[in-house]
Amino acid sequence: MSGLSETSVKDTMDSAKEYVSRLEELVRSVEAAEHQVESSAAQSTLEVEKTFKQLSESILEVLNKRKEALLAEIAAIHHEGLSPLQACRSLIASKLSNTKSYIAEGGDILRIGGMAISASTEKFCEKASFLGSLPAVPQLEEVPYVSFQCNFASLEEQIGKSVQSLGRVSRMGPVQITQMDEKPGALLLHWEEVDFEHSVDIHSFRLQYAYGDIRNQPHLMNTNFHDVYEGPDTQYLVRDLQPSTLYTFRVCCLVEGESDWSAWSLPRIGSSSITPFRWTEDNPHYTITNDAKIAFKASGEPSLLCSCSAQFGPGHCIEFTVLECGDGGLDQGLVLCSSSKYDNGLLQPGVLFLNTEGSIFVDGVEKMMKLPPLQVGAKVCFLCEHIREDKLRVHIGTADKTVIYDWTPVCEKDDNTPPNLYFAISFKSNGWKILVE
Q: Enter the pTM of the model.
A: 0.70
Length of the chain, in residues: 437
Q: For the domain made up of 286-436, give the CATH fold.
A: Jelly Rolls (2.60.120)
Q: Which CATH number, 2.60.40.10, 1.10.1660.10, 3.40.720.10, 2.40.37.10, labels domain 175-270?
A: 2.60.40.10
Confidence of residue 117 (pLDDT cuts 50, 70, 90): low
The answer to whether 371 and 403 are in contact (CB under 8 A) is: yes
Look at residue 43 in the predicted model and tell me its pLDDT: 86
Query: In this model, does residue 169 exceed pLDDT 60?
Result: yes
Question: Over the stretch 200-219, which tens digit does the pLDDT of each residue have?
Answer: 788 899 999 999 998 877 77
Question: Over the stretch 291-333, which tens digit does the pLDDT of each residue have?
Answer: 999 999 999 999 999 999 999 999 899 999 999 999 988 999 9
Question: Over the stretch 365-386, which tens digit does the pLDDT of each residue have?
Answer: 999 999 999 999 999 999 999 9
Please name the helix (run of DSSP H) or strand (run of DSSP E) that holds residue 323, with its range, or none: strand 317-324
Rounded to whole angstroms, how far apart are CA atoms 118 and 124?
10
Confidence of residue 196 (pLDDT cuts 50, 70, 90): low
Confidence of residue 411 (pLDDT cuts 50, 70, 90): low
Query: Boundaries of CATH 2.60.40.10 in the chain?
Result: 175-270
The answer to whether 238 and 210 are in contact (CB under 8 A) is: no
Question: Over the stretch 325-364, which tens digit does the pLDDT of each residue have?
Answer: 999 889 999 999 988 887 678 898 989 999 999 999 999 9
**Is the dihedral angle over the CA atoms 265, 270, 274, 277 positive or is it negative?**
positive
Average pLDDT over residues 399-410: 90
What 3-state DSSP class applies to 149? Answer: coil
Burial class (CB in 10 A: 0-12, 13-18, 19+), 394: buried
Look at residue 199 in the predicted model and tell me its pLDDT: 65
Task: Say which residue, 129 or 233, is predicted with more confidence.
Answer: 233
Confidence of residue 45 (pLDDT cuts 50, 70, 90): very high
Confidence of residue 40 (pLDDT cuts 50, 70, 90): confident
The answer to whether 382 and 396 are in contact (CB under 8 A) is: yes
- Residue from 359, 358, 389 nearest 375 by CA: 358
Rounded to whole angstroms, how far apart are CA atoms 15 and 17?
5
Query: Boundaries of CATH 2.60.120.920 in the chain?
Result: 286-436
Distances (CA, A) of 258 to 160, 197, 208, 261: 21, 16, 20, 8
Residue 186's beta-bridge partner residues? 183
Start-to-end C-alpha separation, the chain? 68
Residue 181's beta-bridge partner residues? 188
